[in-house]
Structure 1
Amino acid sequence: MIAMPASSPVQRFLHWADTCPNDVFLRQPINGQWQTLTFAQAADHCKRIAQGLRSMGLQPGDKVALLSKNCSEWILADLAMMMAGVISVPIYPTLTAHSIESILVHSESKAIIAGKLDQYDKQKEGFPADIRIIGVKAFNSKGDVQWEDLLVQNEPIAAPFAWDLQDVITIIYTSGTTGAPKGVMHTLHSIDRVIQTATPEIPLIQRPTLFSYLPLSHIAERMGIELNAVYNGGFISFAESLDSFAENLADTQPDIFFAVPRIWIKFREKILQKLPQKKLNLFLSIPILNNLLRKKIKTSLGLSKAYFVVSAAAPLAKEVQEWYKKLGIDICQAYGMTEDCVYAHFNRPGSNKFGTVGKPLSGLQVKFSDEKEIRVKSEGNMQGYYKEPAMTADMFDEEGYLKTGDIGELDADGYLMITGRVKDQFKTDKGKYIAPAPIETSMLTNHHLEQVCVVGTGIPQPIALVTLSDSGKMQQQEALFAQLEADMQVLNKTLEKHERIEKIVILEKSWTVENGLLTPSLKVKRNELEKIYLPHYPMWYSKPTTIVRDNG
């Protein structure tokens, strides 16, 4: 592959503002009505906000936090910060005041842009007294300075700040399935190399239609949606709310769609509620109905035009991929992390192997430790964790490879398979280690289950903690228990003796971002579950029934 010249997000964005100024760049619904900004309008807004940041006394190299749900202002703020030369610190919009305060203090942020938020007044309690707050009137977030006033009171910045390629331009605090979030430092060079490498290889098309709904504070959404649009002249639409998500997505019909496994499970559940599996199978077996039905389902989901449909963040069961394939939806699994800036593994359209996370992008070096931990080296690797030299050193081996913490192996065709997490492994009281991820992925093929966490510390055999999906909650208990037990018996036949599930424990309490049991990217916080439920394992294990319902 011939290396493309180095560039920057600001340079690429201004290219589109110059060459197609009147094309729509951003589109978001406000009270059900779409509002748009062209590239030229967006560029003017960014330049004025950048000058506004300078007028507040912020200097190149200062840190500015960004706390907001996905919206046009999020994208504009990120680009404006790059133009002003300040380092962005994106924060998940669902975090509590305590978590927000710890990030703001640790990052030494001098200002925070507070945009579209559901609980701004509560979250604001975590802002240090000396931080400058930029609010957005459109979203009722009040600050020392308002976004709209900065637009009116400032002329466009004369010239965007000239970053050096090795300058840190953002500090991304990981969502953290274990321990406190850590500030991942990425340079202009790492971000530029990832996008420029991925664009021809995946491939990412020019002028894509995109839909943004997963947190932009997460590396995958920021790279795959925001910076994909910035580099390739894309058109981004947003979801207004959870209630309008399906309608907004269907109205957009994006070229690329990215989701986490939980969303694919939810989509399937909704389809099967309207069209039970037996009837779906019948319709798909009739050639004329097959084509009509597939087209209708894809259009209703918003995926009628999607050429690249991606699942990442956690394993997606092969069976689920095969189910969607029958509907004409080819889900490509991908694999990356904040620390490698998703300079990573991808299945590509036309080269998609179910049950794997694909092959690496060019230039990504991959090796496995003696324990089969995946280790990677590329130009996308982070510079380190902000103010944490010891933790940074622990993340790299003697050859400079990043320790991913994931266990995996290559199949005969060179596709990577993820088989678990190093830290997720646990030991039963028989002294046997269990890798829970593949077992959990298999169990989630049952659409009556919403979430699964396989545990077993201190008991002879593993047990599965589960919550029910909407369809599972509607089932008669006797029928539900019978199905879960039958599925467990089938699953256990595929497992080693020490891996076999002894009990399924149905928990009434859902696992959410708000109660601290899921990360903002919807991954289960195993250690937080253990804190709550570990004392109950022996009691559940001793129950005479295979399926245990805990109403606590």
Structure 2
Amino acid sequence: MNNAIKTPVEMLSHWVETQGDTVYLRQPIDGKYVEFTWREVQQQVQQIAGALRHLGLVPGDKVAILSKNCAEWFITDLALMLGGYISVPIYPTANADTIRYVLEHSGTKAIFTGKLDYWADQEAGVGGDLLRLAMPYDTMPSQYQWQQLLSLGEPLVDAPLPSTDDIMTLIYTSGSTGKPKGAIHTFANYSWTCEAVVRDLQTTPSDRLLSYLPLAHITERVAIQGSSFYSGSSVAFVESLDSFVADVQRCRPTVFFSVPRLWTLFHLNIINKIGESKLNLLLKLPIISSIVKRKIQKGLGLEHCRLLGSGSAPIPPSLLNWYHSIGMNICEAWGMTENSAYSIINFPFNANKIGSVGRAVEGCQVRRTDQGELMVKSPGVMQGYYLQEEATAAAFDEDGFFYTGDLCEIDADGYINITGRVKDNFKTSKGKYVAPVPIERKLAQDSHIELICVIGSGLPHPVAIVQLSEGAARQPREEVRASLKATLDSINPNLESHEHVDAIVVVNEPWTVENDVLTPTLKIKRHVLEKQFSAKVDGVRGAVIKWEDEL
């Protein structure tokens, strides 16, 4: 193993020595920042680790973290690393069944709970036997509160440093295709990936990061938390959904990552405010154009950003082109839980390659199987799935390449286009295979559509199920119908005949994590929509546009 790799615990000591009195974490409470310097973070980390020792937990024990993002999430995570414990993060939106499954499957001994919107609904999943430790927020009843933990036992200052081969964390997948699997990540996997992010994106102590995508997800854990460990950047948090825009504006981030869903919402809000044709006109006028672009970026709180990113699900190329036209270059990246979320990125931003997820980063190898599946190999790839030897064996080929489950094309310049998921491709009743993702990307160019899922397993032809944007949902039905019909009629002639979309069905109820259509990372669960709609849409023909209540 590469001895040059340092664990986050060592990096924390490094920043305490070099910039110990600089503010590291900024936690908004009631609209005002509570600030933690690097030195204060280290003191709390040593104290929490000491409290866990005092409570009888031994190195190698698994400890869960169930909370929205906050300063104490970082502190807890570092304390678990320092104490030699294995962290098991759980999505703050997870339901009681998922929580119970992850806690039982991982064999967790204790759980930290923190900022939660629905803890009363989730508490049943935690059960009574587990040691509960509470962060200083409104959260479920616990045996120990944060303030107590900060004075319990002796601070842990002389613990042996974690070895790079030690297991650092079990990260459970978001379960878009069934029960979540626990990816085993060592310090070596994690540290290599975080250092690669800092190396490529050149983040430094003067960068300001904003942490709001769930820390239970590998992307945030590497791109924001991880890069702060290795670059010394400061991190601010978001207090709540209602204060999101104010929190972004207050943080003035220099690096900002998001998911397609949020980039879509930002875009729709701007269009709804200014109007599409008016905006297009203003962007054609030389001096006015730069004022408008600056105003839009300032309105989003992103005017200081030198780097914008999107990941975790496909983003329509039309959306990236639109942002490019207003002077915001969003680098699309590709990753998964199993490869520490960082393997392929369109960085430095290349406008000619919009629609691709970029090229493999230094230290990562990619290949394409004869079936078109993308395979990756890097020091960031997991050791395997926890307690699932068969699934682990099936996930790798004999050269140690990981089967990603994504279908791809690789162009002459090494840029990779994701064309769908191996498991998403379905067979129509005519026995023809259809790849839904390219069709979804084409349809998503209609700005009335916020979310889209093409289904069709066992149906004569594919059908698109869509959720309208908030603005479109308020427009007269016939107006929206005409626009969707025009979009569909422009796309169908360019598809193979067996791929022609028979109908667009507009859903009545928005898709959420709570009604089980979206995963915690806001990916659409295709199998759930297939179950809900396959029978309902059977027989709807002729490229029609229907609302769910018209079926």
Q: Output the TM-score relative to the length of structure 2.
A: 0.97
Residue 477 of structure 2 is aligned to residue 480 of structure 1: no
Checking the alignment, whether the CA contact within 8 Å between 1:202 and 1:346 is kept in structure 2 is no
Q: RMSD over aligned Cα, in angstroms?
A: 1.5
Q: 1:404: Cα distance to partner?
A: 0.1
Give how far 1:110 is off: 0.2
2:197–2:227 contact (8 Å) kept in structure 1? no
Map 1:269-284; keep pairs closer than 5 Å: 269-284=268-283
- In the aligned structure 2, how far is the partner of 1:517 from the partner of 1:138? 29
Q: What's the % identity of the aligned pairs?
A: 42
Give, in whole Å, the separation in 1 of the partners of 2:243 and 2:197: 31
Determine if the alignment matches structure 1 residue 74 to structure 2 residue 49: no
Aligned to 1:202: 201
What secondary structure is seen at the aligned counterpart in 1 of 2:150?
helix
Question: 1:328-353, CA deviations, whole angstroms, 9 ceiling, x for partnerless residues?
Answer: 10011000111011240011134452
Inter-CA distance 481–408: structure 2 relative to 1 (3 Å threshold): same
Which letter maps to 1:388? Q
Structure 1, residues 244-291: CA drift from partner, whole Å, max 9, x if none?
111111221211111111111100000011101111112111122111
Is the 8 Å Cα contact of residues 331 and 349 (structure 2) preserved in structure 1? no
1:456 and 2:456 equivalent? yes
Aligned to 2:470: 470
Which position in structure 2 is the counterpart of 1:326? 325
Note if contact 2:205-2:234 (Cα within 8 Å) is conserved in structure 1.
no
Partner Cα distance (1:451, 1:167) in 2: 40
Question: What secondary structure, in the 3-state scheme, does the structure 2 residue paired with 1:204 have?
Answer: coil
Residue pair 2:171, 2:216 contacting (<8 A) in 1 also: yes
Aligned partner letter, 1:62? D
Instruction: Give the equivalent residue in structure 1 for 2:12.
Output: 13
Match of 1:528? 528
Q: Cα distance 1:219–1:545, how it changes in 2: closer, same or farther (>3 A)?
A: closer
- The 3-state SS of whatever aligns with 1:355 is coil
Query: Equivalents in 2 of 1:350, 1:368: separation in Å?
Result: 24
Mapped contact 2:330–2:349 kept (Cα < 8 A): no
Of 160-169 and 225-234, deviating more is: 160-169
Assess if the C-alpha contact under 8 Å between 2:165 and 2:188 holds in 1: yes
Secondary structure of the residue aligned to 1:493 is helix
Please give the secondary structure, in 1, of the residue aligned with 2:235: strand
Which consecutive unaligned segments of at least 5 residues does structure 1 have? none
Partner of 2:180: 181
1:255 aligns with 2:254: yes
- The structural deviation recorded for 1:91 is 0.3
Aligned-residue offset at 1:315: 1.3
Residue 77 of structure 2 aligns to a residue whose secondary structure is helix
Alignment of 1:437 onto 2:453 = no
Preserved contact between residue 183 and residue 385 of structure 2 (Cα < 8 Å): yes
The offset of 1:73, in angstroms, is 0.9
Match runs of 1:82-101 below 5 Å: 82-101=81-100
The aligned amino acid for 1:133 is R
TM-score normalised to structure 1 length: 0.97
Tell me which residue corresponds to 2:130: 131
Return 130-139 or 451-460, whichever deviates more: 130-139
- How big is the shift at 1:140? 3.9
Structure 2 residue aligned with 1:162: 161
For the residue of structure 1 that corresponds to 2:495, the secondary structure is: coil
- Contact persistence 2:203–2:233 (CA under 8 A): no
User: CA contact under 8 A between 1:166 and 1:187: conserved in structure 2?
Assistant: yes
Aligned to 1:550: 548
String of CA shifts for 1:332-389, please: whole Å, max 9, x gaps.
1000111011240011134452111111111211111111000111111111100000
Q: Which moved more, 1:524-533 or 1:201-210?
A: 201-210
Q: CA separation in 2, counterparts of 1:393 and 1:153?
A: 43
Instruction: Decide which moves more: 243-252 or 147-156.
Output: 147-156
Contact 1:376 1:402 in 2 (8 A): yes
Q: Which deviates more, 196-205 or 31-40?
A: 196-205
Please say if residues 488 and 543 of structure 2, whose CA atoms lie closer than 8 Å, have aligned partners that are also in contact. no
Q: CA deviation at 1:314?
A: 1.3
The match for 2:377 is: 377
* Corresponding pairs, count: 548
Q: Deviations over 1:174-198 (max 9, x none)?
A: 1021010000000011111112223
Give the conservation status (yes or no) of the 8 Å contact 1:408–1:416. Answer: yes
Q: Residue 12 of structure 2 contacts residue 229 of structure 2 at CA under 8 Å; is this kept in 1?
A: yes
Change (3 A) 1:99 1:268: same
SS at match of 2:419: strand
CA contact (8 A) 1:17 1:43 kept: yes
Q: What is residue 301 of structure 2 aligned with on the other side?
A: 302
CA deviation vs aligned residue, 1:189-212 (integer Å, no higher than 9, x gap): 111111222322233344420011
Cα distance in 2 between the residues matched to 1:312 and 1:522: 11
Contact 1:504–1:546 under 8 Å retained in 2: yes
CA contact (8 A) 1:257 1:306 kept: yes
Residue segments in structure 2 that go unaligned for 5+ positions in a row: none
Does 2:185 correspond to 1:152? no
Rounded to whole Å, the distance in 2 between the matches of 1:153 and 1:382 is 35
- 1:64–1:110 CA contact under 8 A, matched in 2: yes
1:545: how far off? 7.2
Compute the displacement of 1:53 (Å). 0.8
Structure 2 CA distance for aligned equivalents of residues 132 and 326 of structure 1 = 53
